[in-house]
Amino acid sequence: MSDGPESKEEASALQEAREEVLEHAGAQSVGDRSQYLLIAEEVKAGYIPEVNILNGCTLTLREGEVVGIIGPNGAGKSTLVKTIFGLLTVREGTIELRGESIANCSAHELVSSGVGYVPQTQNVFPTLTVEENLEMGVFLRPKTFRERFAEVAALFPLLEQRRRQKAGALSGGERQMVAMGRALMMKPSVLLLDEPTAGLSPIFQDEVFERVKQINSTGVSVIMVEQNARRCLEICDRGYVLDQGRNAYTGSGAELLHDPNVIELYLGTLAAAAD
């Protein structure tokens, strides 16, 4: 892992302590299902046959929530959001949106059902203009372009200002706005964001967190993966710490932020690296 300044001994002690937590973290019970907009329960999935990366992950999202997913590199955070978005086969477990199974639906079916996804990398078409990128966002409903563009540009004024520029000519932060804008063009009810602040300057990171809160305040429920764990927990309603494709800790953002075990095992070095 590239997060910490710790020595080899400290790193292996940390690893052992994390393994201990995972051994004792039992299956998560979802409880009353009717309270959730989205449920991923005991999901197993992976890239190579027979090799699971997600080893029984559970995550829930209520209407109006921002839910954060944090955890070490390689924990399976991106894999979880990709699986929710139908990009990987659900081998075991269930994924439901408003009580209906969406496991193994195609990405475009999910987009039609109101799920938007912004991948971690390569999330804009660099040779297309900003406007064309946003048109791609509504290729399923091209007639809505004008109205949607106006609403999305109200949230991200930059998209109007840079409308005719090629997305590839924009800075990393600006491209992230294009990617988020594109996902919002279909007026999703759930937005999946994979590390929206990765590689951005601190000013743009702040802006992204602000935008996420703003998007959420317009009624979009958000699941966001973040490396910037502390900042993420500060703004999210609830958070999940994933490790080795399992749930290590779950709680409100504030609970996780102040949990001594979470701090020691998952926030200490990340915080040192980020601050």
Ligand X SMILES: Nc1ncnc2c1ncn2[C@@H]1O[C@H](COP(=O)(O)OP(=O)(O)O)[C@@H](O)[C@H]1O
The minimum distance between CB 239 and Mg ion, in angstroms, equals 16
Among Mg ion, ligand X, none, partner that 122 touches (CB below 5 to 8 angstroms by kind):
none
Strand partners, 97: 38, 100
CB 167 within 8 A of CB 123: no
The minimum distance between CB 54 and Mg ion, in angstroms, equals 13
Q: Compare residues 34 and 73 and give the one whose CB is closer to ligand X.
A: 73
CB 252 within 8 A of CB 258: no
The minimum distance between CB 271 and ligand X, in angstroms, equals 18
- Runs of H (alpha helix) within the chain: 8-24, 77-84, 107-112, 130-137, 145-155, 157-161, 172-184, 202-217, 229-235, 253-258, 260-262, 268-274
Q: Which of 78, 83, 197, 205 is close enough to bind ligand X by CB under 6 A?
A: 78
Instruction: Examine residue 78 and tell whether it contacts Mg ion (CB under 5 A).
Output: yes
Q: Which region among 21-29, 76-84, 202-210, 267-275 touches ligand X (by CB under 6 A)?
A: 76-84
Instruction: Examine residue 74 and tell whether it contacts ligand X (CB under 6 A).
Output: yes
Instruction: Give CA–CA dist 21/85, Å, rounded.
Output: 28
Q: Compare residues 39 and 80 and give the one whose CB is closer to ligand X.
A: 80
Identify the DSSP state of 149: H
Residues that bind Mg ion (CB under 5 A): 77-78
Residues that bind ligand X (CB under 6 A): 47, 53, 71, 73-79
